[in-house]
Structure 1
Amino acid sequence: MTMDLVRVQLYDSLKIMNNREAEIPLYAEQDVVSTLNRIFPIGYEVKFPIFEDMFLTLYNAGHIAGASFCYIQGKEGALFYSGDFSAFSQKSIEGAKLPKLRPDVAIVESTYGDRLHSNLEIEEKALVDFVNEAMENNGKVLIPAFALGRAQEVILILKSALNKGQLKNVKVYVDGLVRDVNRVYNRNPIYLKKSLGKKVLKGLEPFYDDNIVEVKPNDNREELLKEQQVVFVASSGMLTGGPSAYYAEKIAPMENGYIAITGYQDEESPGRQLLDLLEAKEDRYLKLNGVGFPVKGQIKKIGLSAHSDKSEIKGLIDRLSARNVILVHGNNEVVRNLGQEMAADYKGRIFTPECGEQIHIEIRNPRKQLKKHIPYVMNHSEELSEKLMSHFYEYMTEHYGNRLFTLEELYYIWHGVNCYEDEQMKGFKALIMESVYFESDARRLFLWKARDKQDVEEDLKEKELNQQQLTLIIEELFKEFPIRRLVLIWNKRKFN
């Protein structure tokens, strides 16, 4: 997942730099190719050896698709690094999920360590209500969104509202880098929320339909803006460039223009300037690409943060129970205040370092690590195939029941050797994912288990085709013939 996203974002950055006449690009296309060739993908919950007696394991961090907690284990101790994380599930991905870990040192983000988020459902409703208000006034809506993560959430919120009839007669256009990121989501269903990932695995389109469409390269944006009752979901999320800046320049001066800001805005960004106008009653101006223009439309801030809040941060730290906790990735005041609040009750040591400060921690007695035990392996030299799948299934049910495993662990059980090469794993992965004998976990599509025997037996029974399935097969068989009309006589099991 992450490798595909890196490819999209590096090429997009390169395109932006090349289009700026006064700017010398920081890197060339060959640098992108060279970087991508050096990326080695590792799945979630795979204990990967990085040095002798040192291992790295990644866990779902729930921030954006592919976001990971990092857990490093070695002889000298264990280190946990959170990166950005979110404990609550979103519409496109599941929330953070961790087994019982025993780190000696935990480095944890504290971006929103000074606040509690409002209820997500309330914020989603606020966005739908804002769009409805705009439609009642025959307006146009712009939702600038980060291409990765936030845009997909916004699209799915709007799609859900349209399907439930909470939004009517609305056309949603998706523009910018968002389109490329959506395609990456389609290629990596096992890292999405189960409901969304299952749609992709069935060949269904998760984001687009008749009401939500992507803007094609040859589409004229001026013509799209002439349409009535339209919503534009476009990157960049801070209005620093991309199609969102173009739409903002056109929509902000409209009396019936509506702009919803759904993510963090940097202090110097046009998006922050726009938010600052919320309190202004008169003389509202915005500058984009060096050009200033009046803001006559409506502005609204919607809280769809994918960062953890104070309660989630404290909950993670308590769960880890590390003897040494280092708070990072927050402004100095937030880090200090959160550290002081926790220090009163926390049994370990809390560090709140300044930017660039070095910390020396001596671990005299490393905590004993919990190990995942896989005692039974089949040691097959032959590759797994559809013919051998029932044999593998019987072995798994006998020795492991419905215990969950990563695909890499299932490979180990079959072959008796570890495999971390993505290309080598492709065929094995495809067989497991398409097999009637195995199913993914309800919340983590990257974990698999043997299905209940009763369910397997039911699915293996020969089933009579329904009318729709039979019609599709007949049409495919006779597509070369000039048949004008096909009549299926269902009760007689024949067609004319």
Structure 2
Amino acid sequence: LMMLLLYDYINLSQRVGSIPFFSWRDVVNMMNHTITLDYTETVDISPDIKLTFYNAGHILGSALAHLNIESARHNVLYTGDFRFRDTKLLDKAVRKFPRVETLIMECTYCGESDVLPSLPEAEETLFSIIRGAAERGGKVLIPALAVGRAQEIMLSLVDGFERGALPDIPVYLDGMIYDSTAIHSAYPDYLSNYVRESVFKRDRDPFTEPHFNFVSSDERPDVTKGGPAVIIAPSGMLTGGPSVDYLKLLAPNEENSIVLVSYQAEGTLGRKLRDGVRELRLQDEEGYITIKVRADVRVIEGFSAHADKVQLLSYLSTMEPRPHRVFLVHGEEEKMREFGPLASKSASIRTVSPQIGETFKLA
């Protein structure tokens, strides 16, 4: 999965005329020096530091990093990106550890209004949009991250088809989603209980459901000319890749829907759509073209792979053992300043929002 993402970055950089920060040779060299660890497996990374990974619930293989320093004199847990709720794709992040004195926790969604809808709510919203588009004879384009978000949506659609909540229409998958999904299928032990039960008890890989059709770039015009369908394609922010090609073909038709299920960064095409811009200037093979967006544009928040404010507070309150101190990182400065006192009061833990370059003594 790591090689797939790095190679994709190099290819994308070359396609848009940018110079990548590293080469193919650098990736191969890095992989030759990479050691893989199972969850809960402990390894010495220096004479006085032991490292253990635990499931982070973010994407396939994501890990919380637990550092045991100087024979347990001090223990640090760094969450990295994590999610603290079960989904159809992944089990939620682990919350029990041998010892933790210091926690370094991501706070991407720690703001007062950063409360995501539940997964069932998000799914029902998506199903309703798909049903509406199908009734109009239109298609639904879902720009999605090829790793994690696409597979999450696929599993939700499987459930929708099984329950009769969705019409019997094809789902087309494009771009890197094929390779990424194949990797997910190869590692069911690292996926959710929902997937493991399907694979091991029912002998069925949910990623190979008959509704799913992987397509190539040559087939895109045919896909957009056909009947009602769902199309899942990267990139999630519409910064490039097949999702932009589909946008050009589908956006002018008011029968279609475009569903944004990923974070949309400032300056991206996806952000412009989210903010209500309905006339887009896009680069084509022959230069720039202007697209008028008549399709219905919708935003669904509940599929995020990050913990929201409620999950962050729940994680702090239920961690075993409770850390003595929490460093809040990977969030907007103002939001973290507001979240710190709330977290301290809710979980009775001292919180710190460090500045870049600031140094702290752990013990």
TM-score under structure 2 length normalisation:
0.91
Shift of 1:232: 0.5
1:19 to 3, 6, 15: 15
Q: What residue is the counterpart of 2:80 in the other structure?
A: 83
* 3-state SS in 1 of match to 2:126: helix
- Checking the alignment, whether the CA contact within 8 Å between 2:74 and 2:362 is kept in structure 1 is no
Shift of 1:31: 1.3
Shift of 1:199: 4.1
Q: What residue is the counterpart of 1:189 in the other structure?
A: 188
Aligned partner of 1:18: which letter?
Q
Alpha-carbon distance between aligned partners in 2 of 1:100 and 1:27, rounded to the nearest angstrom: 36
Aligned partner of 2:43: which letter?
F
- Within the alignment, does 1:124 sit opposite 2:123 as a pair? yes
- Within the alignment, does 1:357 sit opposite 2:357 as a pair? yes
- Within the alignment, does 1:29 sit opposite 2:28 as a pair? no
CA pair 106-148 structure 1, distance change in 2 beyond 3 A: same
Alpha-carbon distance between aligned partners in 2 of 1:264 and 1:291, rounded to the nearest angstrom: 25
Aligned partner of 2:279: which letter?
Y
- Within the alignment, does 1:341 sit opposite 2:342 as a pair? yes
* 3-state SS in 1 of match to 2:80: coil
Q: What residue is the counterpart of 2:66 in the other structure?
A: 71
* 3-state SS in 2 of match to 1:263: coil
> Identity over the aligned pairs, expressed in percent?
32
- Checking the alignment, whether the CA contact within 8 Å between 1:173 and 1:214 is kept in structure 2 is yes
* 3-state SS in 2 of match to 1:170: coil
- Checking the alignment, whether the CA contact within 8 Å between 1:169 and 1:229 is kept in structure 2 is no
Q: Which moved more, 1:152-161 or 1:123-132?
A: 152-161
Aligned partner of 2:50: which letter?
F
Which structure 1 segments of 5+ residues have no match? 364-496
Shift of 1:265: 0.6
CA pair 80-174 structure 1, distance change in 2 beyond 3 A: same
CA pair 258-361 structure 1, distance change in 2 beyond 3 A: same
Shift of 1:344: 4.3
- Within the alignment, does 1:98 sit opposite 2:95 as a pair? yes
Aligned partner of 2:263: which letter?
Y
- Checking the alignment, whether the CA contact within 8 Å between 1:328 and 1:353 is kept in structure 2 is yes
1:43 to 38, 42, 49: 38
CA pair 122-226 structure 1, distance change in 2 beyond 3 A: same
Alpha-carbon distance between aligned partners in 1 of 2:145 and 2:362, rounded to the nearest angstrom: 40
Q: Give the structure with higher Rg (CA).
A: 1
Shift of 1:79: 0.7
* 3-state SS in 2 of match to 1:232: strand
Alpha-carbon distance between aligned partners in 2 of 1:348 and 1:211, rounded to the nearest angstrom: 48
Shift of 1:203: 6.2
Shift of 1:340: 2.4
- Checking the alignment, whether the CA contact within 8 Å between 2:189 and 2:196 is kept in structure 1 is yes
Shift of 1:168: 1.8
- Checking the alignment, whether the CA contact within 8 Å between 2:158 and 2:206 is kept in structure 1 is no
Residues paired across the two proteins, number: 351
The 5-angstrom pairing of residues 476-495 of structure 1 reads none
TM-score under structure 1 length normalisation:
0.68
Alpha-carbon distance between aligned partners in 1 of 2:362 and 2:27, rounded to the nearest angstrom: 39
2:3 to 7, 14, 19: 7
CA pair 197-7 structure 1, distance change in 2 beyond 3 A: farther
Query: Cα RMSD between the aligned structures?
Result: 1.8
Shift of 1:81: 0.5
Aligned partner of 1:121: which letter?
P
2:300 to 302, 323, 342: 302
